[in-house]
Amino acid sequence: MVKDLSVDLCGVHLKNPVIPASGTFGFGLELSDAFDLNLLGGISLKGTTREARYGNPTPRIAECEGGMINSVGLQNPGIDVLVDEKVPALRRVYGGCVIANISGFSLDEYRECCEKADACKGIDIIEVNISCPNVHNGGMAFGTSADSAAGVTAAVKSVCRKPVFIKLSPNVTDIVSIARACEDAGADGLSLVNTFLGMRIDIARRRPVIANKMGGFSGKAVFPVALRMVYQVAHACRIPVMGCGGVASASDVIEMMMAGATAVQVGAENLRNPYACPEIAEALPHLMEELGINSLKEIIGTV
């Protein structure tokens, strides 16, 4: 029997639930010579701010057991280049769901960037990053209290007609209260989780491995924690969730969906294996056959 992998995110149809996570897939085109991007249900583009940013000093990457730390610091060409150049170029080769990931350092910046993303024809969903651990006074600063998360949500919702997903930080005491605050403020969906604030020390040099001292930890090791948060949030909120955190296989995708995710983002695994997303999408129907699943939509939140 033909398996139905399609899912629906606030009216946006995805041929499958597999989405490379923001920051782990550039602006999509970087991978267009590696495989047919149309194998992907969606693509979440690299986090974008109002002005171009160089990002943090190097080293920006530290390897860990079962994962890695990154501190790229939102290197991006700015929102105007995103909507005028990056998205149109991607659209020439990709017909799936394009998700713009927006970050900022003030409510005004979030609002202005989201307004431009909303007006850009090639973008289907706006993902608002209030959880980047690698910049000061921005990103995660907005995502660690329910009030400020709701403030950003309301601000961007006032200028967007497209679905707005708020990307949540796991570096909080109660992710459910923040998720609910975003839902109450009008969010159409939630993406979770971003990376976990982490650190490594080079014991020979007696200094942090990462130039910015700390960074975001992600990779296989975070999967059980991310899954738990997706489960809690999906059961506490009515809006759809994109599950993210340590996903590395088709079975991880199924697990995330059973926990309540409507779509699933693959992050750090792309850095180990640039072909991870198409391989997972290809493996899903076989795993569904083994598990007796005909349509992925049937399993969302069934646990």
Partner 1 sequence: MKKEQYRIVRNKRIAPGTFELVLEGNGNVDGEFVHIAIPGFYLRRPLSICDKGPGSLTIVYKVVGKGTKVLSEMTEGTVLEILTGLGRGFDPDACRGEALLVGGGLGVPPLYLLAKELKARGKKVTAVLGFNKAEELILVPQFESICDAVTVSTVDGSVGVKGFVTDAIAGMDRSYDYFYTCGPMVMMKAVCRMVECPGEASLEERMGCGAGFCYGCSIETKNGPRRVCKDGPVFKKEELSW
The binding site for partner 1 (CB under 8 A) comprises: 23-26, 30-31, 33-34, 46, 54-55, 58-68, 70, 72, 75, 219-220, 270-275
> Taking a C-beta distance cutoff of 8 angstroms, is the pair 208, 201 a contact?
yes
DSSP secondary structure letter of residue 70 = E
- Taking the complex as a whole, the smallest distance from the CB of residue 219 to partner 1 amounts, in Å, to 6
CB of 274 to partner 1, least distance (A): 6
∠ CA 1-98-176, rounded to 5°: 85
Complex with partner 1: residue 54 or 290, whichever CB lies closer: 54
Measured between alpha carbons, how far is 228 from 222 in angstroms, rounded to an integer? 10
CA distances, 272 to each of 83, 195, 248, 298 (Å): 29, 16, 10, 31
**Among 70, 132, 71, 72, which residue's Cα sits nearest to residue 101?**
132
- Which of 144/218 has CB closer to partner 1? 218
Among 97, 114, 120, 132, which one carries the catalytic annotation?
132
Compute the least distance from the CB of residue 186 to partner 1, in Å. 32
Give least dist CB 208 to partner 1, A: 13
Q: Which is nearer to partner 1, 16 or 218 (CB)?
A: 218
Length of the chain: 303
In this complex, which beta carbon is closest to partner 1, that of residue 225 or of residue 299?
Answer: 225
Question: Least distance to partner 1 from the beta carbon of 30, Å?
Answer: 4
Q: Which residues pair with 201 in a beta bridge?
A: 208
Q: What is the DSSP letter of 45?
A: P
Residue number with CB closer to partner 1 (55 or 186): 55
Nearer to partner 1, 16 or 270 (CB): 270
How does strand 241-244 pair with strand 189-192? parallel
Q: How far is the CB of 167 from partner 1 (least distance, A)?
A: 18
Q: Provide the H-helix boundaries in the chain.
A: 79-81, 87-91, 107-119, 146-157, 175-184, 223-236, 250-259, 269-272, 276-291
In sequence order, the 6+-apart residues with CB closer than 8 A to the CB of 197 are 133, 140, 171, 214, 215, 216, 217
278: tokens are 């198409």
Is residue 113 part of the annotated active site? The answer reads no
Residues serving a catalytic function are 132
